[in-house]
């Protein structure tokens, strides 16, 4: 069996957008990010499940042990897969869990420093996911903390893989680390914005409770049509909070080596897809309707991919593109101090 080919086939089934981006990366970084994403997706499936917390803790531990010792007895890896399939609820993630052994095998093919980096961040992610099974998101600080565990971690990992593959120097790695976490947070915060109605249906609560309470709302009332004006006030606070992270994400891209066009494209595509989604969320009543989904068009995706390739090596063109999109999102949200900082890159 060609385990690598099988994992590449699974990737678009669990994330079409990241599948597109990961394939753009140069070898062997693309395979390293592919297997990292599948590993983190398994952890995410455990987190999202309705299984009791003690069961989730056990499954997190078993999964990480399987990856830590990928050449362990096949029976132990198979037993972990059976536990995942029998104790979790899932939909499209089924194909990923059914091919658990293949993901572990591809992981085992990676250089040891790459394996250690992935496991290190996977452990931190699982620990944070367990923490937020018991802790409510009451403030933006809580939301940032949660977003770090599920997305900022991936920014740190990507930064380490860039260094291990010789894409960035140790000095640049250190400089990039300042923005790597915030890049991951930017993408997560847009997801939290866009998916609010669906998340509530799934009993997932990522908006700050104290912010909603300020406007007389709770998760039970946020999406009610008669509470729409109050809900829009909460939405605007979320919009303002996310803005800082979008600028930081752009700074991360601008610091990447200009010659590393494929690496820059990997970052630019999800960033500008997030910006387009961000623009659609502003004052959008549909956000609170679970029957509707805020999404960008296929044409917008094609445009983003094309411009990322065409302008990826020019910081000036990327800055102009970014600021144009932010102005389109709403001039009130474009801050002069941020513009000056971007222009300094």
What does R_g of the chain's alpha carbons equal in angstroms?
Answer: 20
The Cα 282–Cα 317 span in angstroms is 25
Span 206-211, mean pLDDT? 97
How much helix, strand and coil, in percent to the nearest 5, is found in the chain? 75, 0, 25
pLDDT band at 96 (very low <50, low <70, confident <90, very high): very high
pLDDT band at 328 (very low <50, low <70, confident <90, very high): confident
144 Cβ partners below 8 Å, 6+ apart?
Answer: 185
Summarize pLDDT for 330-341 with one digit per residue, the tens: 745 555 656 666
pLDDT of residue 345: 61
pLDDT band at 139 (very low <50, low <70, confident <90, very high): very high
Summarize pLDDT for 247-256 with one digit per residue, the tens: 999 999 999 9
- Greater pLDDT, 328 or 309: 309
Q: Structure tokens of 208?
A: 């700050």
Report residue 148 CA to chain centroid gap: 10
Span 77-98, mean pLDDT? 92
pLDDT of residue 69: 78
| Residue 137 DSSP code | -
Residue 238 has pLDDT above 60, yes or no: yes
Q: Which domains does the chain have, with CATH numbers?
A: 1-135 (1.10.600.10), 173-345 (1.10.600.10)
Matching residue, tokens 């104790």: 87
Percent of all residues in the chain with a pLDDT value above 70, rounded to a whole number: 94
Span 120-149, mean pLDDT? 96
3-class DSSP assignment, residue 207: coil
pLDDT of residue 291: 87
Percent of all residues in the chain with a pLDDT value above 90, rounded to a whole number: 84
- Please give the mean pLDDT across all residues of the chain: 92
Overall size of the chain counted in residues: 345
Peptide bond into 316 cis (omega under 30): no
pLDDT band at 59 (very low <50, low <70, confident <90, very high): very high
Q: Structure tokens of 187?
A: 């993408």
Q: What is the pTM of this model?
A: 0.92
The Cα 168–Cα 154 span in angstroms is 17
* Angstrom distances, CA of residue 133 to CA of 49, 50, 56, 128, 203: 11, 11, 9, 9, 12
The candidate with the shortest Cα–Cα distance to 10, out of 37, 30, 43, is 37
Contact 279, 325 (CB under 8 A): yes
């Amino acid at each position: 069996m060609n385990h690598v080919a099988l994992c590449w086939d699974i990737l678009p089934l669990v994330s079409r957008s990241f599948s597109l981006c990961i394939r753009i990366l140069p070898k062997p970084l693309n395979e390293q990010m592919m297997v990292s994403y599948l590993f983190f997706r398994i952890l995410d499936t455990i987190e999202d499940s309705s299984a009791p917390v003690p069961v989730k803790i056990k499954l997190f531990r078993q999964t990480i042990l399987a990856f830590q010792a990928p050449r362990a007895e096949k029976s132990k890896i198979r037993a972990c897969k059976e536990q995942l399939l029998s104790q979790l609820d899932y939909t499209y993630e089924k194909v990923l869990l059914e091919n658990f052994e293949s993901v572990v095998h591809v992981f085992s093919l990676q250089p040891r420093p790459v394996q250690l980096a992935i496991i290190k961040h996977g452990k931190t992610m699982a620990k944070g996911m367990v923490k937020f099974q018991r802790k409510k998101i009451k403030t933006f600080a809580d939301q940032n903390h949660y977003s770090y565990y599920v997305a900022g971690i991936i920014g740190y990992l990507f930064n380490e893989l860039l260094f291990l593959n010789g894409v960035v120097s140790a000095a640049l790695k250190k400089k990039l680390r300042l923005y790597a976490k915030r890049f991951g947070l930017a993408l997560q915060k847009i997801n939290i914005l866009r998916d609010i109605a669906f998340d509530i249906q799934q009993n997932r609560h990522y908006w700050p409770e104290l912010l909603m309470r300020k406007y007389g709302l709770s998760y039970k009332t946020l999406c009610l049509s008669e509470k729409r004006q109050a809900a829009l006030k909460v939405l605007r606070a979320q919009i303002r909070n996310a803005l800082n992270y979008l600028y930081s994400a752009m700074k991360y891209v601008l610091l990447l080596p200009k010659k590393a066009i494929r690496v820059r494209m990997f970052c630019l595509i999800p960033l500008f897809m997030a910006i387009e989604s961000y623009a659609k969320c502003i004052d959008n009543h549909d956000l609170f309707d679970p029957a509707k989904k805020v999404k960008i068009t296929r044409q917008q995706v094609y445009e983003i991919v094309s411009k990322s390739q065409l302008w990826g090596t020019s910081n000036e063109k990327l800055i102009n593109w970014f600021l144009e999109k932010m102005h389109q999102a709403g001039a009130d949200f474009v801050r002069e101090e941020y513009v000056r900082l971007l222009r300094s890159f």
